[in-house]
Structure 1
Amino acid sequence: MANELTDRLFWKNYWESKKDLIFVIPEKYVFKEIFDRLFKEQKINSVIELGGFPGYYATFLKKFYQTNTTLLDYFVYPELTQKLLQKNGLAEKDVAIIEADLFSHQPVQKYDLVLSCGLIEHFESTKSIITQHLLYLNDGGKLLITLPNFKGVNGFVQKTFDLENYNKHNIGSMNIQLLVTIAKDLGLKNVNAYYFGGFSVWLENKQQKSTFTKAFVKTIWYAGKLLTKPFGYQSRLFSPYIVLEATK
């Protein structure tokens, strides 16, 4: 892919290092409240998840919203996605799989909802990667992009305890005003970008970290939960995600 901060080998090693990839996806999965609202606002029959291997959200949307769902990623282990579908009571054919470079693949159809979760921050040009999303989107369709927020406490944790992973992210993309400006420049309507989620921090490959690091991060997690739970608001400092919504 063009201007990416990762490559195929990175993703191969990333997925091979992961444990417990296959699980039953609950109805109250991350971003459920957003999906509930989007599906109430308009009819959504077809969805494509970009860069989402092994396809948690594609599986989630098929399982709970009965959409015609496609997964597209640069690197795919089809057998893992098949196991994920089976674990969630779905058939192999329930999610179409496309293994392709997003910057060279020519879509053969367009979709009512184009979704990516944790994709755009791996590219140097935020505008370029968002532009590629629009090639798959029907006129009047919904764009939903989520990305981690590394400009708050979670970013401190990432930078301090996993600098290698932190450097695989374009921190500049984690800017609400930038996302709004790009979306409007691309002619999108009903543009909204916001922080999402209660306080949380995490580490990739946590099991490989030292006992001290795991204990320290866990302490931050508990302390942050206790301090922020009474307020319940979402902010740059404490929220773990950023969300961009728009209509084509």
Structure 2
Amino acid sequence: MTEAKTEKEFWEHFWKNTALPCRINPSFSNDRVIAETLKRWIPAGDGERVALEVGCAPGKWMVYLAEDLGYVPAGCEYVESAVRTTEKNLELCCIPNARVYHGDFLTMDFEGRTFDLILSLGFIEHFSNPEDVIRRKLSLLNDGGYLAIGIPKFTGLNYHLARIVDETLDRKLLPAHNLAIMDRDYFCSLPRTLPLAPVFIDTIGGFEPALFDISRTPLWFKGVFHAFSAGLANPIVRCLNLGWCSGYIMAIYRKDGALP
């Protein structure tokens, strides 16, 4: 069995067994800070602008884009069960006029449709050449539209924690992610070669314990991890947004066709 087939079968099973309905959870720090960042830096959709989420399952951010930012939501997914789960979630959350596309984002047919906002959270870091993905997004984005990219950050402190956690996991964190793009400098460099005007680029949310599954790690590591969490994940320290331990990076741009 090939690795690609095994990966696809894992996600088919995963999305088939996802609990619904699913909305963002404001009590979960990552959801909260991502939502706050999007709301602060991206203009409202006014019920007419269309947003595409790339890698959208289970659809909780499509629901957010519709209910909180006023966009008509669309999404795309590679795995069929992810499409079905997202469609069901949108139905349960009473989101009308939503569309979920099925296929490989780099080659799929969007039927000539373009978008006013393109969002991806935890997507481009799985590609060895993420610029190909970003260029594809730009080809679907209207001039003046907004591009929002969020990725987990497995560098700094998180790299050393992930190395230990990976020793206990079947689905390892570090090999599945492109660590080279996990800093602000990478996202700040994109406008040099792409028609992008930076709106917001920074780490957000501080240390995020939920990035790591420590259930199978040794007791000594659990103790160290909980000590880090107690010190770094409390609300006051999170507000400092210390880049060396932050668990997430957000980059938001406006497409400007006049730029190179």
Asked if these proteins are the same fold (TM beyond 0.5), I'd say: yes
2:55 and 2:185 mapped to 1: Cα distance? Answer: 23
Match of 2:74 in 1: 70
Match of 1:237 in 2: 244
Q: Which is worse superposed, 75-84 or 21-30? A: 21-30
1:95 and 1:33 mapped to 2: Cα distance? Answer: 23
| Distance change in 2, residues 1:7/1:90 (3 Å) | farther
Kindly indicate whether residue 85 of structure 2 is the aligned counterpart of residue 85 of structure 1: no
Task: Please state how far the C-alpha of 1:82 moved relative to its aligned partner.
Answer: 3.3
Say which SS state the counterpart of residue 65 (structure 1) adopts.
coil
1:16 and 1:100 mapped to 2: Cα distance? Answer: 17
| Distance change in 2, residues 1:211/1:90 (3 Å) | farther
- The residue type equivalent to 1:145 in the other structure is I
Match of 2:116 in 1: 112
Task: Please state how far the C-alpha of 1:23 moved relative to its aligned partner.
Answer: 4.6
Task: Please state how far the C-alpha of 1:15 moved relative to its aligned partner.
Answer: 5.8
Match of 2:258 in 1: none
Task: Please state how far the C-alpha of 1:8 moved relative to its aligned partner.
Answer: 5.7
Say which SS state the counterpart of residue 202 (structure 1) adopts.
helix
Task: Please state how far the C-alpha of 1:177 moved relative to its aligned partner.
Answer: 1.3
CA contact (8 A) 1:53 1:75 kept: no
CA contact (8 A) 2:204 2:248 kept: yes
Q: Which is worse superposed, 13-22 or 232-241? A: 13-22
Task: Please state how far the C-alpha of 1:247 moved relative to its aligned partner.
Answer: 0.9
CA contact (8 A) 1:154 1:202 kept: no
Q: Which is worse superposed, 70-79 or 128-137? A: 70-79
Q: Which is worse superposed, 21-30 or 139-148? A: 21-30
Task: Please state how far the C-alpha of 1:38 moved relative to its aligned partner.
Answer: 3.3
Kindly indicate whether residue 225 of structure 2 is the aligned counterpart of residue 217 of structure 1: yes
Kindly indicate whether residue 258 of structure 2 is the aligned counterpart of residue 246 of structure 1: no
Match of 2:23 in 1: 25
Task: Please state how far the C-alpha of 1:131 moved relative to its aligned partner.
Answer: 1.1
Match of 1:3 in 2: none
Match of 2:61 in 1: 57
Where do residues 131-150 of structure 1 align in structure 2 (5 Å cutoff)? 131-150=135-154
TM-align CA RMSD? 2.9
| Distance change in 2, residues 1:230/1:169 (3 Å) | closer
> Which of 200, 204, 207 is the aligned partner of 2:208?
200
Kindly indicate whether residue 192 of structure 2 is the aligned counterpart of residue 184 of structure 1: yes
1:16 and 1:208 mapped to 2: Cα distance? Answer: 21
Cα deviations by residue, 1:24-44 (Å, 9 ceiling, x for unpaired) = 424734312122223447867
CA contact (8 A) 2:203 2:246 kept: yes
CA contact (8 A) 2:22 2:58 kept: no
Task: Please state how far the C-alpha of 1:63 moved relative to its aligned partner.
Answer: 2.9
CA contact (8 A) 1:151 1:236 kept: no
Cα deviations by residue, 1:186-219 (Å, 9 ceiling, x for unpaired) = 1212354211113212346x38625736565344
Unpaired runs of at least 5, structure 2: 256-260
1:52 and 1:26 mapped to 2: Cα distance? Answer: 13
* Pairs aligned (count): 239
1:236 and 1:12 mapped to 2: Cα distance? Answer: 35
